[in-house]
A and B are shown apart, each in its own frame.
Chain A
Amino acid sequence: MSNLKFNKSHEWVKVEGDCAVIGISDYAQGELGDIVFVELPEVGVKISEGSSFGTVESTKAASEIFAPLSGEVIQANNDLVNNPQWVNEDPQGKGWMIKIKVENSKEMDNFMDEVAYKEFVDKESQ
């Protein structure tokens, strides 16, 4: 089992010390379909929990990505700009999006582990 945590809007978070890596879940990429465009914030930008920090576009539609946590962006996966298909191929690995310095780790209290998230997705897709 991975050490990723998930929220209800299908983002995942991986905590590394006082930082967190953020991406979208395998379920989310599957729902979006072929991803052809990714737009991410620049390093230094402050993002706040629940607000949009970027855009992914699949052939079907454009979707905003919502910040699961508040904090300052310290790294962005700019390789995705030229390789947006990585979000489809490896959403929880090569398809990571940003790394932030976590402001308030309490925001993670309601996150689900992988098992709980899978149950949540199964229920939602019924």
Chain B
Amino acid sequence: MIALKTTPLNLRHTQAGARLVDFFGWRLPLEYESGLKEAKELRCSCGLSDVSHMGEIKIKGKGTFEFLQKLVSNDLRLIRKGQLQYNLFLNQDGGIKDDLMVYNLGEEYLCVVNASNIDNVYAWLKEFKNDEIEIINESQSTSLLALQGPKSYLVMESILGKKLDDFKYMHFIQENVELKPALISRSGYTGEDGFEIYIESKDACFFWDLIMNKGADYGLKLCGLAARDILRIEAGYPLYGHEIDETTNPIEASLGWAVKLNKDFIGKEEIVKAKKNGVEKKRIGFLMQEKGLPRKDYDIYAEVGKTPPSKVSGGSLRPVDKTPPSKVSGGSIPVDKTPPSKVSGGSILVDKKIGRVTSGTYSPNLNEFIGMGYVSIDFSKPDTPIKVKIRDKFYQAKVVNFPFVEAKK
């Protein structure tokens, strides 16, 4: 068995009563008390999370800009020193190798990548580099804290002892707090205002305690991975390994805004083609119309009109299942014994598989079950009725626009 890596804050988490979980080889807090409560409280006041598992890769040397500009899908000319940008690394087929944040440090750039992709991305970057480019994996020596929520700026003002009115979203500053260096960006993965704080791992406990201390006046709560997953789904943000991977391209993933075609980059040809020819599937958000929790890899169906065959037999388009015992709550049973539900204009409506779920949750801020997934393009428009198959039953849902929960920025 491979030993799980822990962050410098592991003891803080266990002391706070966290339920720990294995996350891509890291032992991280899933929740402290209740992920639902944590996700709700963060949107009311503020929350603190340890996300030190994220990867920090620094790129420096002569020609760094040109090197990175060739590898990312977004246009680095759009960010000045002191700004960050959402970006994608694509493979030659236009599939997403990783999604990341790029920080313009002036001469150098900092790439913040997903924990699951650190080694992969690091090796990939090295493939393209010349002798003048230096690529440094600082993930071990760097810790990352996320202070998020509408009151987080008050906590940060208290820590830095100054007003932050000029500190804009997607900008960052570099400060010393009691001689300990910190890179602080106004950014996050919750859909709320907030800060991401990069510090040296040896200082992690110092900053954690400082934030907890200053945050006490503003109702700061600890938030685990469960709350963060709920918050990012509510915000409509994709998660690598769920909504995006090497087999999905940015157009399908509704991330076309992070791809700029007025420059050259790896994977561009495929994106140009996808834009010209259109894509077959699209990432959507959906709201359940019946109580039911959609989970990753559940199938999505829709009713489509079909010319009635001479005799309905076998029901190839309907999943055939044993009749489960009748249950009290929602969901309809897709068995062939039920008569062809509706007949309209001479054609029978049958259930056809049109896609699959990539993420789903109960949203404590909406009090609704919500999800994301891919459906064939014909069913991707808002308000399109769809069905999610949960344990052999169909649950009604409808396609909705992102975000599910409006950001308060």
Contact = CB atoms under 8 A, between A and B. Distances in A.
Given A55-B391, A59-B362, A37 B293 contact: yes
B35 interface: yes
A60 B295 CA distance: 10
A39 B327 contact: yes
Interface string A37-56: 11111100100000001110
Contacts of B30: 33, 60
B295 A59 contact: no
Contacts of B314: none
A34 B291 contact: no
Interface centre among B230, B292, B328, B369 (most CB of A within 10 A): B328
B328 A40 contact: yes
A62 B36 contact: no
B328 A39 contact: yes
Interface in B358-404: 361-362, 369, 391
A50 B226 CA distance: 31
A36 interface: yes
Contacts of A78: 328
Given A59-B35, A59-B230, A36 B325 contact: no
A121 interface: no
Contacts of A76: 328
B351 interface: no
A62 B295 contact: yes
B36 A59 contact: yes
Interface in B224-241: 226, 230
B391 A81 contact: no
A103 interface: no
Given A55-B391, A60-B226, A62-B293, A39 B35 contact: no
B338 interface: no
B362 A37 contact: yes
Nearest to B36: A34
Contact of B327 (A36, A42, A88): A42
Contacts of A59: 35-36, 226, 230, 361-362
Interface string B283-297: 000000001110100
A39 B391 CA distance: 12
Interface string B259-297: 000000000000000000000000000000001110100
B26 to A, nearest CB: 17
Given A42-B326, A59-B226, A78-B328, A36 B391 contact: no
Given A37-B291, A62-B295, A81 B328 contact: yes
Contacts of A55: 391
A20 B235 CA distance: 45
Interface string A53-68: 1110101101000000
B391 to A, nearest CB: 7
Contacts of B31: 33-34
A34 B293 CA distance: 13
A31 to B, nearest CB: 9
Nearest to B226: A59
A57 B293 contact: yes
A76 to B, nearest CB: 6
Interface of B: 19, 30-31, 34-36, 226, 230, 291-293, 295, 325-329, 361-362, 369, 391
7 contacts: A33-B19, A41-B327, A59-B35, A60-B30, A60-B226, A62-B391, A81-B328
- Closest 9 pairs (CB-CB, A-B): A36-B362, A34-B36, A81-B329, A57-B293, A39-B327, A39-B329, A37-B293, A40-B328, A42-B326
Given A33-B31, A34-B362, A57-B293, 10 more contacts: A33-B30, A34-B35, A36-B362, A39-B327, A41-B327, A53-B325, A59-B226, A59-B230, A78-B328, A88-B34
